[in-house]
Structure 1
């Protein structure tokens, strides 16, 4: 019997995603840590936090769980304790990534729409406080996830595999927790980013209209540096939050459809449309964890320059090593 198409896609997609996403996020962290991209300290802090969360998603969810776990089903990754930790960490890292993106979007909203509050809020100290708070809350909210899984079986007194406990399906408390967690990771961040972006666009359009009117009355024909700077800022904002929104659309749609119709569990039916939609949502939201590097490279000139330096570093270092060796031999 032929394997389901969605399983074949996952078998190819996730290794390729890990091969690109892990080094891409590592390079982003290295470049941002150098502080040469011309970004404010608060923006750099949010971007660094998003890169770290995305790297954790790539390593734990994509590489360990979806790739190694799929290719090596009987490895140490199948120990119940390891499996539960991977599932817990994967969920928590998605939570962090979502709320770090929301925090960045809100920071840009304040910077553009609330000039009186900007000086107090858009600081590295505030960004660090929000990042640490989001990190702590994500790990605390996910603690019950450990108790939602049990071993599939015991071999030589060693628990193997993970499956959802029966209590998750029967106890009302688990149903409430599931709704709250899913809403806080999927629906609420999605809605908040849509709201902040809409308000930011509205503010920018009004400000640009007023500024163009003032400049036309002053008969100034040269380009407006304020509008140019604002355009660069919103370009970064909209590419980051916009790609997140687009790639999470399928997850939001499948979440709403399955929860409203109470068809969350598919019992191994890989041809079920709900299952396929849910898995496609997983594919796309994991893809969103490696797009920020491409976003930064496309929108930030200094980031592109730093990226080129990082990529050229091994060759440059090797060339210097060879040159120094030749000079040493010549001097002898």
Structure 2
């Protein structure tokens, strides 16, 4: 998840947004390079989304499915799932490399990228992008809500039983479960809120004559699109922080990371 989110920030923020401001008309604007940037961006975005879903399902199995969690929650399973998500994302986004064309030709060299007009009219392109929208937004939304909802329901039910069996109000386990509920609600809300704007723009682009990646920043649809991309990038930061920073083992490893230079200096001085 961290790698996928970091790649989103590299390809979108650094190689797209910052490059246009600080390094315009550079080799990054050659059409083949431009196409590759967009392709890798969408691959990393899709991986980020589906790894979020996979991690949500992993938490659901670990908490709610005691009979299978020891078989499912293993390094081997995680490796297979992560490799499958990356492989399918790489294959599924191959058509995106061909959805754009050169904007201008200078000395027989293609420059910049614009979306092909056929993307808005050819049934095959329209169908592909609808499928892409469904797989990138609707299905992940529903799955994250479903698994987090089932997990919260399970926690509430077991907590009710635990309260009935225990007379003491001071129960560390109950406090841990309350934190788990807050965390799961935060994850679901963060994921949906930060993606809903770009989802609305995608739908508008499919049912109207709105085009992607326009440069008229007085156009309301262009503003909505850019705000959606900004919130999408923000999601790439917050998803990883919410998930891994909440894990005790991760926090312990982070402490060890900061302690390591001091430990190394002590060994060298001795």
TM-score by length of 2: 0.86
For residue 122 of structure 1, the aligned residue among 70, 73, 79 is 73
Deviation at 1:155, TM superposition (A): 1.7
Instruction: Summarize the Cα distance change of 1:109–1:303 in structure 2 as closer, same or farther, 3 Å threshold.
Output: closer
Instruction: Summarize the Cα distance change of 1:303–1:56 in structure 2 as closer, same or farther, 3 Å threshold.
Output: same
| Structure with larger RCO (C-alpha < 8 A, sep 6+) | 1
Name the counterpart of 2:237: 290
DSSP-derived class of the 1:263 partner: coil
Any residues of structure 2 matched to 1:192-271 within 5 Å, and which?
A: 192-216=143-167, 221=168, 223-224=170-171, 226-231=173-178, 237-265=184-212, 268-271=215-218
Deviation at 1:233, TM superposition (A): 5.0
Moved more, 304-313 or 52-61: 304-313
Name the counterpart of 2:12: 61
* Paired positions, count: 270
Is the CA contact (8 Å cut-off) linking 1:108 and 1:237 kept in structure 2?
A: no
Deviation at 1:275, TM superposition (A): 1.9
Instruction: Summarize the Cα distance change of 1:166–1:251 in structure 2 as closer, same or farther, 3 Å threshold.
Output: closer
1:165 and 1:139 mapped to 2: Cα distance? 21
Deviation at 1:300, TM superposition (A): 4.2
Deviation at 1:256, TM superposition (A): 3.5
For residue 272 of structure 1, the aligned residue among 193, 210, 219 is 219
Instruction: Summarize the Cα distance change of 1:269–1:205 in structure 2 as closer, same or farther, 3 Å threshold.
Output: same
Is the CA contact (8 Å cut-off) linking 1:266 and 1:272 kept in structure 2?
A: no
Name the counterpart of 2:33: 82
Residue segments in structure 1 that go unaligned for 5+ positions in a row? 1-49, 328-332
Higher Rg? 1
1:84 and 1:202 mapped to 2: Cα distance? 45
Instruction: Summarize the Cα distance change of 1:287–1:235 in structure 2 as closer, same or farther, 3 Å threshold.
Output: same
Any residues of structure 2 matched to 1:75-114 within 5 Å, and which?
A: 75-114=26-65
For residue 281 of structure 1, the aligned residue among 212, 216, 228 is 228
Q: Give RMSD over aligned pairs.
A: 2.8
Residue segments in structure 2 that go unaligned for 5+ positions in a row? none
